[in-house]
Amino acid sequence: MPVDIQSAWRIGSVEIPSRIVLAPMAGVSVQAFRRQGRRFGAGLVCSEMVSCAGLSHGNERTLGYLRIGRDETPLAVQIFGSEPAVMAEAARMVEDAGADIVDLNFGCPVRKVTKTGAGATLLEDPERASRIVGAVAAAISLPVTVKMRRGLADGSRAALAAGPQLVDAGAASLTLHPRSARQMYTGTADHSLTTELVELVDVPVVASGDVTSRARAQELLDETGCAAVMVGRAAQGNPWAVGEIAGERENEPSREEVVAELVLFMRATVRELDERRATGFLKKFYGWYLGRGRFPKPFKQELVQLPTLADVEERLFAVAPGAVAALARLEGELPAEDDVLLDLPISVYGGG
């Protein structure tokens, strides 16, 4: 029987209502992005990677990443670091902040992170990686999950060697992005490794990498035996891809829909990051929303150069006047934003 993308599954005691996980993406996975992903059918959403050192030092910007809304649940907050005790302390803070799952980043390929012994480097040191999982699992009562690449070097099978050890140490689920760290985002994800990992462990495995359509998602679920698929780049400025994978829509959005979603996202981001930071943060999203043949290329360039977000909104509504009513409908349907469950001294959000 093929797995139904809309069926529920579990990570430990956490029930996840669909087989679609919205990927953690640094500089992208803000709360507005996660809320949007849920609206379009993601069963689980993730924060971007949060520095455990930043949390344990009480760095105000880092603490801002722990702003969690009630409507985001189930939510995984991802932390990175290399010291078991510091990771455990950070995980306790994540639990207190109201997350449902603590995810450990053993996949980041960026040198700034790997040179500290964190991220993908940990795949080459499964003993330390297992100690981190063990320390975090002992410190909190939430499920602990791990996200990995295949290894550091091209052709590496380090994730397959490490996977069972991480599960023995207490990991309740593993996500595999089967590219090497060296590959960054080039080439293709080799999901034959996902099939192998599923065979090796008795916890749910999530397949990450190149999931861009419902057909590909279903193929991965059927062929690898994974419990869920993760959607990353395909969802950037494109929640409709998540909707298509969820089976909730087939067609490309109209220009009015695109502008309405973009403006909704802009307004939510301003509330989250403040106007100044949101202005810079949003620039990359214009291309993502308006590209894909939806609007002529120079239009994006024009928006990026406008001085204020109010100017951007005005320009967007000028090219798609029907978006005003579409946006009002969307805003009317949204649940009230009900943020900040935590008791932490946060005055500024840490964002991307």
Ligand X SMILES: Cc1cc2nc3c(=O)[nH]c(=O)nc-3n(C[C@H](O)[C@H](O)[C@H](O)COP(=O)(O)O)c2cc1C
Q: Which one among 25, 75, 139, 226 touches ligand X, defined by CB under 6 A? A: 25
- The owner of tokens 């907050």 is 77
The Cα 104–Cα 279 span in angstroms is 30
The DSSP line for 26-45 is TTT--HHHHHHHHHTT-SEE
The Cα 335–Cα 304 span in angstroms is 30
Q: Judged by CB under 6 A, does residue 26 bind ligand X? A: yes
> Cα dist. 258→133, 201, 238, 314 in Å?
41, 41, 9, 15
Query: In this structure, how many other beta carbons lie within 10 angstroms of the beta carbon of residue 6?
Result: 14
Q: Which one among 107, 287, 351, 352 touches ligand X, defined by CB under 6 A? A: 107
52 is catalytic: no
Piece of the chain touching ligand X by CB under 6 A; list 100-108, 192-200, 219-227, 331-339: 100-108
The Cα 43–Cα 37 span in angstroms is 9
Residue nearer to ligand X on the CB measure, 78 or 326: 78
Report angle CA 16, 130, 125 to the nearest 5 degrees: 120
The total number of residues written for the chain in this structure: 352
Q: Which one among 14, 22, 24, 269 touches ligand X, defined by CB under 6 A? A: 24
* Subset of residues 149 to 178 that bind ligand X, contact rule: CB under 6 A: 177
Residue nearer to ligand X on the CB measure, 25 or 316: 25
Q: Judged by CB under 6 A, does residue 147 bind ligand X? A: yes
Residue nearer to ligand X on the CB measure, 134 or 209: 209
Phi and psi for 2 in degrees, rounded to 5? -65, 145
CB 281 within 8 A of CB 273: yes
Compute how many residues bind ligand X; rule: CB under 6 A. Answer: 22
Per-residue binding string, ligand X, 212-251, x by CB under 6 A, is -------------------xxxx-----------------
Which pair of structure tokens corresponds to residue 334?
């949204």
Shortest gap between Cβ of 33 and ligand X (angstroms)?
11
Shortest gap between Cβ of 25 and ligand X (angstroms)?
4
* Subset of residues 258 to 287 that bind ligand X, contact rule: CB under 6 A: none
Q: Which one among 211, 220, 227, 260 touches ligand X, defined by CB under 6 A? A: 211
- Contact positions toward ligand X, by CB under 6 A? 23-28, 48-49, 78, 105, 107-108, 147, 177, 208-211, 231-234
- Positions annotated as catalytic residues are 108
